[in-house]
Structure 1
Amino acid sequence: AAEKPEIVFHAAALKHVTLVENHPCEGVRTNILGSRNVAAAARACGATHLALISTDKAVAPTSVMGATKRVAEAVVRQQGGAGGPRVSVVRFGNVLGSAGSVVPIFQHQIARGGPITLTHAEVERYFMTIPEAVQLVLRAVALSADDVAPPDSVLTLEMGEPVKIIELARRMIALQGLVPERDIAIRITGLRPGEKLTETLVDINEIAAPKAPGIRQATPATPLPHVDDATLAGLEAAALAGDETRVRTLLFALVERLRQTHPGQPVKVVAGV
């Protein structure tokens, strides 16, 4: 109310998969209810545009983190239009050098003589640098602002080909003049709860189309169901009570509704445990 911003970028979230898997109630409170509060504040202060930074883990989510971000996308988009701000949702993958990025972890492990640890030899992820991510987010939001009709799609950033994490580890070892598996061991620790081998930016109930160089849009094949106040209130009550089992049940049931491919025929989502 004091600053009266015209554009709000909502990038704050609990984004670490394992952290949120271990603390699902906090994930719901921050990622869903916190996003609802930011959207309501943006509307109340008269902001003209609200941009939510989402994640590729919101697509076919198997983790609590991904599920909370998928619900946040829906909740924030409902605040748009009818006198509220224009809402843009931007999805992308991992950012090199960001907090929790694998690169500084590998650097630390190499510096101490190894081993480098990764969860699975076949894990692969999309990567982009911080400047690339920022520039594409700004561009995506600017493009959305120029659209005449309110956006009903999610904007996704083109991130090139996914990178196998084990190959990234080997390259980083070689860049230090060392030989993988001889000078620095690589240890496979096993997939963590909620973790997937691969990620994608477009879900089963979305249709992807080019928007601009480096940017695509994923449009729901059918209108998204409304996330009503009673549903959010139930999720909030379970989270505030610390009822992790009920939080997971309500959360993934809601995600199942949001991913439906035909009205009344939701796709099945398996919750991470």
Structure 2
Amino acid sequence: VVPLFKKQIKAGGPVTVTHPDIIRYFMLIPEAAQLVIQAGAMGHNGQVFVLDMGEPVKIVDLAKRMIHLMGMKEYFDGNSNEGDIEIKFTGLRPGEKLYEELLIGDNVEGTSHQKIMTACEDKLTWKEMHPLLQELDICCH
């Protein structure tokens, strides 16, 4: 989203944000790759790991900061006399969520790495899962 916002600002706007309340997590690719590799090395018996993604960022705040860093001021709803670059809300796309759920539940445990946690989610036994898979197979055919 950062390269898109930069391009939109350089073009004179508008900067398009889907919703005023949408938030996302950001992580540098090298850091994410390193954490995934480390989690993979730690895993056994089907463990599910969750990475500490840091604090979520409100996307409209990111757009405002980028506009300010480029020496301009934002405005909303066509009130161009209030600023230089419009921030336009385009609406959520189908299936898009306001926030990312990193876990189904809140049951996590720390690991030897401060940024890698293990999720303690309920698991089905094969005896519990097998009839569900059979039912799914029947529904698909």
Same-fold call, TM > 0.5?
yes
| Paired AA for residue 210 in structure 1 | G
Following superposition, the deviation at residue 219 of structure 1 comes to 2.1
Equivalent residue, structure 2, for 1:161: 55
- Higher alpha-carbon Rg: 2
Q: Does 1:228 align with 2:122?
A: no
Distance 1:171 1:232 in 2: 50
Give the aligned CA root-mean-square deviation in angstroms: 2.2
Distance 2:34 2:108 in 1: 21
| Paired AA for residue 95 in structure 2 | G
3-state SS, counterpart of residue 120 of structure 2: strand
Matches within 5 A, 1:1-273: 102-144=1-43, 147=44, 150-151=45-46, 153-181=47-75, 182-204=83-105, 207-211=107-111, 212-223=113-124, 225-226=129-130, 228=133, 231=136, 235=140
Distance 2:24 2:51 in 1: 14
Following superposition, the deviation at residue 115 of structure 1 comes to 0.3
* Residues 215-266 of structure 1: CA deviation (Å, up to 9, x unaligned): 011122342635637736855x7xxxxxxxxxxxxxxxxxxxxxxxxxxxxx
Distance 2:124 2:134 in 1: 18
Contact in 2 for aligned 1:118/1:189 (Cα 8 Å): yes
* Residues 122-177 of structure 1: CA deviation (Å, up to 9, x unaligned): 11111101111111111111111xx4xx13x3111101111000001011111211
Unmatched 5+ stretches in structure 1: 1-101, 238-273
TM-score, length basis structure 2: 0.80
Shift >6 Å, 4+ stretches: none
Distance 2:4 2:138 in 1: 38
Distance 2:36 2:54 in 1: 16
Unmatched 5+ stretches in structure 2: 76-82
3-state SS, counterpart of residue 133 of structure 1: helix
3-state SS, counterpart of residue 106 of structure 1: helix
Distance 1:159 1:232 in 2: 37
Distance 1:184 1:127 in 2: 24
Distance 1:109 1:228 in 2: 48
